[in-house]
Amino acid sequence: MKAGCTLMDLAAELERQAAAKRDLIVPAKKMHASTLPSGQFRLVIDEAGGEVRYPLDDFVCGQLAKKLDIPLSYFKRMREYHPELLDQNVNGWLKVNVPDSYLVRTLDGYARAFLSTRYRRLDNFDLAKSIVPVLQELPGARFESVELTAKKLYIKVVSSKIQCEVKPGDVVQAGVIVSNSEIGCGTLRVEPLLFRLVCSNGLIVQDRSMRKNHAGRNLVADDDEVLVYQDDTLEADDKAIFLKVRDLVKTAVSEATFDLLSEKFRRTIGIKMVGNPVKAVEVLANRYALNEAESAGVLRHLFEEHELTGYGLVNAVTGYSQEVACYDRATEFEELGGKLLELSSGEWKQIAEAV
């Protein structure tokens, strides 16, 4: 499992961001685009104290482009080669959308999200404050990896008291991951994971029943005013959601869940890779959109496992995750390991017999 930051560092950064971030409900007519010759796109918002310019990164530019129905490839082309044309396009469509308002989430002088006013805030600081004490009470709790990226919060906890041998000498332990995005990169998720002691690999099993969408009631802005979205607006609703998250954590690390997942993991031992291992990884890469470097890394780990089975391939995928520089992408590889456990026999056959 890829290492993250310390729990204390995470707590400090969550507290800092909670104090520094501002959420604005902005009528379309109270904002306009101002792209620099260098290509940096800025959203100018007419706030109570005057105009404020917020730079947007590529992710937020994508959100804005989608809201205004501007093809992203065209947006990027205008930003690079014709900034004035980009401003004309954005400002023109904002005028068309005059009746609309948007939720703009800001932090440290940047706009970090451009969202619908129906977007339901589930903030990382409040989530961590509610759920960390529950995670600490799990039997033999160990915070194996925690991280706060630009897109998501991740808390991965392993229980040393719930474990079994998947095969002789190969011990796995039960765990849980709680993840959340404040900027529209995904739902609040609570998912079980398996932690393999021999190599510190983590495997995340996705469960759609353990997710909470960021959708809620519409937030209405005054047509002539930018509103600051107050933290206490949805406090009561947050408490109800976080209580549900606590229940889901306990379910994810239960003996019943662990027994089910470890048995699925054990079954992959019997899947023999009778075809060409290189072709098998190619099939995997095509199915799950792995790039060339990622495919090569998985293949290398497969050979290092010295076990050409489904079990070896799952461990190759999760083992490679520890080498991935981006924590978000590394976690996606841990999730890919979980997806492989859910493959049907026919799907495994396509991989195992690839030639």
Contacts of 299 (CB under 8 A, 6+ apart): 277, 278, 281, 316
Task: Identify whether the C-beta of residue 294 lies closer than 8 Å to the C-beta of residue 313.
Answer: no
Percent of the chain residues past pLDDT 90, beyond the cut: 72
- Other Cβ atoms less than 10 A from the Cβ of 243: the count is 11
Per-residue pLDDT, averaged over 63-83, amounts to 96
CB 143 within 8 A of CB 155: yes
> Angle at CA 206, nearest 5°, toward 204 and 212?
120
Looking at residue 271, what is its pLDDT?
A: 95
Residue 320: per-residue pLDDT: 95
Q: Are 10 and 148 in contact (CB under 8 A)?
A: yes
Residue 209 reports pLDDT greater than 60 = no
User: What are the residue boundaries of the structural domains of the chain, listed by start?
Assistant: 21-116, 124-264, 271-353
Q: Choose among 247, 211, 189, 201: nearest CA to 340.
A: 201
Residue 247 has pLDDT above 50, yes or no: yes
Please tell me the predicted confidence (pLDDT) of residue 245: 87
pLDDT of residue 215: 54
Report how far Cα 197 is from the mean position of its chain's Cα atoms: 25
pLDDT band at 221 (very low <50, low <70, confident <90, very high): very low
Residue 219 pLDDT grade (very low, low, confident, very high; cuts 50, 70, 90): very low
pLDDT > 70: percent of the chain = 91
At 92-101, the pLDDT tens digits run 999 887 678 9
Q: Give the Cα-Cα-Cα angle 179, 184, 189 (nearest 5 degrees).
A: 25
Tell me the mean pLDDT in the region 230-237: 59
pLDDT greater than 60 at residue 227 = no
pLDDT, average across residues 82-88: 96
Give 220's pLDDT tier (boundaries 50, 70, 90): very low
141, two tokens: 């709790």
Per-residue pLDDT reduced to its tens digit, 103-160: 999 999 999 999 998 888 888 999 999 999 999 999 999 999 999 999 999 999 999 9
Q: 152-156, 204-208, 291-295: lowest mean pLDDT where?
A: 204-208
Is the pLDDT assigned to residue 226 strictly greater than 60? no
